[in-house]
Amino acid sequence: NAGVTQTPKFQVLKTGQSMTLQCAQDMNHEYMSWYRQDPGMGLRLIHYSVGAGITDQGEVPNGYNVSRSTTEDFPLRLLSAAPSQTSVYFCASSLGGPASYNEQFFGPGTRLTVL
Amino acid sequence: KNQVEQSPQSLIILEGKNCTLQCNYTVSPFSNLRWYKQDTGRGPVSLTIMTFSENTKSNGRYTATLDADTKQSSLHITASQLSDSASYICVVSAEKLIWGAGTKLIIKP
């Protein structure tokens, strides 16, 4: 099992550009989520999905879109990049949601810089 | 307001020594409490998950404790190794996960 994979590992964008961060898992997990991690702060939830075809907003969704067409894939789209979106982005998956006893598995992260 | 606070922010100890990291939370309703280890440049990795009925849980040299009455948890690391150098993050689950900012632990030889 590869677990949770993310691409790319690093990305530099100019303000206003768009891009898609890829995330895939091979554990047949229903619950997937995207976080951003900024220095000195806890991880913040951007969007999450409880299954294919179902997505919802987290605490910092503005400027980001997601879709979940398959159980395995959960891409994150930046619509028009801004310097405030400079961060490290993590994708995670688990069998159940936060209230469950299920372990959450994280990808290696994408380090994004917006100039 | 749901909050998770960790202390200390950073800690330096010598290899072979023990240490304890603290987590205080004000989260309701409480489902479970998790400790993660995050190596520099990598994603968090789960160490333990505890419900309110579990007081202690171990994972090798890592032992987490939970006092649901005082809303405090601790992570004790025994006989530290250089590979324990990482950030340790406390996460409390309510209807969503509330993440602490982490404690950065450095083990010196």
pLDDT at A90 over 80: yes
- Contact criterion met (CB < 8 Å) for B99 and A44: yes
> How many residue pairs bridge chain A and chain B with CB atoms within 8 Å of each other?
53
Chain A contact set for B93 (CB, 8 A): 98-99
Let me know: does B95 contact B7? Beta carbons within 8 Å.
no
The whole-number pLDDT of residue B52 equals 84
Give the residue with greater pLDDT, A97 vs B7: B7
Q: Give me A66's structure tokens.
A: 């997601």
Which residues numbered 94-113 in A keep a CB inside 8 Å of some CB on B? 98-101, 103-109
The whole-number pLDDT of residue B96 equals 85
The whole-number pLDDT of residue B28 equals 84
- Contact criterion met (CB < 8 Å) for A92 and B94: no
Range A8-18 average pLDDT: 97
Q: Which of A53, A19, A21, A52 is nearest to A34 (CA)?
A: A21
Chain A contact set for B31 (CB, 8 A): 98-100
The whole-number pLDDT of residue A40 equals 83
Between vectors from CA B108 to CA A104 and to CA A107, what angle results, nearest 5°? 20
The whole-number pLDDT of residue B42 equals 94
- Contact criterion met (CB < 8 Å) for B45 and A44: no
**Tens of pLDDT along A30-63?**
999 999 999 888 899 999 999 999 999 999 999 9
DSSP label of A103: P
Give the residue with greater pLDDT, A102 vs A50: A50
Q: How far is B87 from chain A (nearest CA, A)?
A: 11
The whole-number pLDDT of residue B73 equals 97
How far apart (Å, rounded) are the C-alpha atoms in residues B54 and B37?
Answer: 20
pLDDT at B61 over 80: yes
The whole-number pLDDT of residue A11 equals 97
**Tens of pLDDT along B25-60?**
998 888 899 999 999 999 999 999 999 889 999 999
The whole-number pLDDT of residue B2 equals 86
Q: Are strands A105-106 and A87-94 parallel, antiparallel or unpaired?
A: antiparallel
Confidence of residue A99 (pLDDT cuts 50, 70, 90): confident
The whole-number pLDDT of residue A101 equals 82
Let me know: does A77 contact A20? Beta carbons within 8 Å.
yes
pLDDT at A1 over 80: no
Confidence of residue A96 (pLDDT cuts 50, 70, 90): confident
**Tens of pLDDT along B63-109?**
999 999 999 999 999 999 999 999 999 999 988 899 999 999 999 99
Range A27-31 average pLDDT: 95
